[in-house]
């Protein structure tokens, strides 16, 4: 009887704490409740500890949750699931796996058998994806089948997402084909997987086959095309989405803006700015950052400055994008001044910030300032110089005539110089007529870019500038012997919200004849203008 009274007492106490914990969301208040639970010996209550683990999870107190969990001698499935969920939410994926293993061993240690359920696997599978461990994910997939949970839709979609994250697209397709029910999420995951691997045609085929498309589906296509540098296709999908009456959200705007920036689609970018402002999306810092980059790349640096000045919450990307934009447009003084404002705002710069800053010094020929910032990056901010930083410094040294110092810097680099660095040095060699180092640069460029005739033409021009015509002849013979062809130039222009691309020597445009006629008229106009100038000078 005494034992029964004791059990009833514990249950009564447990019932007393349940409503208190249900109302509790504050970790400090929960710790006070914890003290009372210790007093009444309730730390073995699976139900109460499970609720406490959820509170810890919500507040990011994962160590405290782990302490509570490890004190329970015989956890039940609900407590195991709560701990797995908490570890996964806090990206502690290996701990998630260990708790799952502990759950499987539980049946061997205690009389009560515990089996994973449909609440266990979604988080466990997410951890496998977070670890990018496809082998472990396949083992968990086997356990899913073993415990008869294969047909659970949420588990199937978790597995599909895991295979996509691990680049196991064949396994993802096999699972997709066997799925009992394909929801929009299933299609979206597979589309994203193909886009991630650059398989844009397969992604497009799936997209067209989808019975129902959500805004996430459209955004996956837009983002995928942009990341694969199919910017025209990204714009076409975005416009089609609008025609079909699907309203863009802030995520789709962030996805399409890089395509606008690359294609110079300024009018569409301005419309997106208006739409974002109308719908309250400018409160999102990432939307403003994408707009700033679009404006600067489209040549509207003043508009990007206006937007930047109105931002209430600027992160390091905001500052870095604006500094880089000003540098790109030759406004070095403003870029450097903005960097000082960034320091005053107590925002720590990152690698991209210093790329913009060094680029600004290069455009303005500010050698001492550039060297100072290069040192500051390492000494004051513990940022190791990357190849982009070295490239900016080589360009700065080259622009200021320090060709030998630029070559010595390249030789001291910790990583292998790329074609951009050697190309920058070669260009500086032409400016300052340094044939010796130009030949050294060319030797490396022939290894890195053997098919690029532009470098050979540049070296031939250096020979010509120095009057070394035998060198010019050798370059021409070398180009002919390798059957090299110059990559044709191209340009883009946006007219009536349509981006037109013009490639040198391409007459396929239906309006090509009209374009050539206008060019002839402009050339004739320029010729007449030059003749008039000559007459004026003769009269003088």
Q: For residue range 39-57, list pLDDT tens digits in order.
A: 888 889 999 999 999 999 9
Give the CATH fold of the 213-313 domain: 1.25.40
- The architecture (CATH level 2) of 385-489 comes to Alpha Horseshoe (1.25)
Alpha helices in 2-152 (DSSP H): 2-23, 27-39, 46-58, 62-71, 77-89, 93-109, 121-130, 134-146
Look up residue 339 and give its two tokens: 């960097």
pLDDT-derived band of residue 281, with 50, 70 and 90 as boundaries? very high
Predicted confidence at residue 461, as pLDDT, reads: 87
In whole angstroms, give the CA distance from residue 253 to residue 290.
8
Residue 513's Cβ-side half-sphere holds a number of Cα atoms within 13 Å equal to 1
Q: For residue range 159-183, list pLDDT tens digits in order.
A: 999 999 999 999 999 999 999 889 9
Predicted confidence at residue 387, as pLDDT, reads: 95
Predicted confidence at residue 536, as pLDDT, reads: 40
pTM: predicted TM-score of the whole model, two decimal places: 0.81
Predicted confidence at residue 486, as pLDDT, reads: 57
Q: What stretch of H or E contains 268?
A: helix 266-278
- Say which DSSP state 73 is in: S
Predicted confidence at residue 1, as pLDDT, reads: 35
Do 213-313 and 385-489 share a fold? yes
Q: For residue range 362-404, list pLDDT tens digits in order.
A: 989 999 999 999 999 999 999 999 999 999 999 999 999 999 9
Q: Which of 323, 272, 329 is nearest to 297 (CA)?
A: 329
Task: Please give the full DSSP string across 189-215, using - where no structure is assigned.
Answer: HHHHHHHHTT-HHHHHHHHHH-SS--H
Q: Is the dihedral of CA 71, 73, 78, 82 positive or negative?
A: positive
In terms of C-beta density within 10 A (0-12 exposed, 13-18 middle, 19 or more buried), how is residue 21 classed? buried
Q: For residue range 399-441, list pLDDT tens digits in order.
A: 999 999 999 999 999 899 999 999 999 999 988 989 999 999 9
Domain parsing of the chain, residue ranges = 213-313, 324-373, 385-489
Predicted confidence at residue 463, as pLDDT, reads: 85
In this model, does residue 94 exceed pLDDT 70?
yes
Predicted confidence at residue 454, as pLDDT, reads: 83
In this model, does residue 488 exceed pLDDT 70?
no
Q: Which residue has the higher pLDDT, 26 or 121?
A: 121
């Amino acid at each position: 009887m005494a034992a029964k009274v004791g059990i009833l007492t514990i249950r009564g106490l447990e019932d007393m704490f349940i409503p208190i914990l249900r109302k509790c969301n504050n970790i400090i208040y929960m710790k006070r409740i914890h003290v009372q639970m210790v007093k009444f010996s309730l730390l073995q209550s699976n139900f109460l500890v499970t609720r406490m683990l959820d509170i810890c999870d919500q507040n990011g107190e994962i160590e405290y949750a782990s302490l509570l969990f490890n004190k329970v001698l015989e956890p039940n499935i609900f407590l195991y699931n709560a701990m797995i969920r908490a570890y996964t939410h806090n990206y502690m994926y290996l701990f998630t796996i260990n708790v799952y293993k502990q759950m499987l061993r539980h049946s061997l240690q205690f009389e009560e058998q515990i089996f994973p359920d449909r609440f266990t696997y979604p988080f466990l599978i997410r951890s496998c994806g977070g670890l990018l461990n496809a082998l472990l994910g396949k083992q968990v997939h086997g356990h899913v089948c073993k415990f008869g949970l294969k047909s659970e839709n949420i588990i199937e979609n978790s597995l599909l997402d895991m295979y996509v994250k691990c680049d196991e697209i064949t396994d993802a397709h096999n699972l997709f084909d066997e799925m009992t029910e394909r929801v929009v999420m299933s299609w979206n995951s597979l589309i994203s997987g193909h886009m991630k691997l650059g398989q844009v045609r397969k992604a497009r085929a799936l997209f067209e086959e989808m019975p129902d498309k959500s805004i996430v589906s459209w955004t996956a296509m837009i983002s995928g095309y942009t990341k694969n540098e199919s910017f025209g296709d990204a714009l076409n999908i975005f416009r089609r989405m609008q025609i079909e009456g699907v309203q863009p959200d802030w995520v789709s705007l962030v996805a399409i803006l890089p395509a606008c920036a690359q294609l110079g689609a300024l009018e569409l970018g301005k419309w997106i700015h208006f739409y974002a402002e109308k719908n309250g999306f400018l409160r999102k810092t990432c939307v403003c950052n994408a707009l700033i980059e679009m404006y600067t790349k489209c040549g509207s640096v003043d508009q990007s400055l206006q937007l930047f000045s109105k931002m209430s919450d600027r992160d390091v990307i905001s500052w870095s994008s604006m500094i880089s934009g000003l540098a790109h447009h030759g406004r070095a003084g403003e870029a450097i001044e903005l960097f000082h404002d960034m320091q005053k705002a107590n925002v720590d710069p990152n690698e991209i910030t210093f790329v913009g800053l060094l680029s600004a010094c290069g455009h303005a020929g500010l050698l001492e300032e550039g060297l100072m910032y290069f040192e500051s990056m390492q000494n004051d901010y513990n940022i190791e110089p990357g190849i982009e930083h070295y490239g900016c410094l080589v360009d700065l040294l080259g622009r200021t005539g320090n060709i030998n110092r630029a070559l010595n810097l390249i030789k001291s680099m910790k990583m292998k110089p790329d074609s951009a660095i050697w190309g920058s040095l070669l260009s500086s060699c032409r400016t300052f007529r340094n044939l010796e180092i130009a030949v050294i640069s060319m030797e490396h460029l022939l290894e890195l870019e053997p098919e690029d005739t532009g470098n050979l033409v540049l070296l031939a021009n250096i020979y010509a500038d120095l009057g070394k015509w035998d060198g010019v002849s050798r370059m021409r013979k070398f180009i002919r012997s390798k059957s090299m062809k110059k990559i044709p130039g191209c340009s883009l222009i946006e007219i009536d919200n349509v981006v037109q691309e013009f490639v040198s020597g391409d007459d396929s445009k239906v309006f090509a004849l009209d374009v050539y006629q206008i060019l002839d008229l402009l050339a004739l106009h320029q010729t007449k203008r030059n003749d008039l100038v000559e007459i004026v000078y003769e009269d003088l």
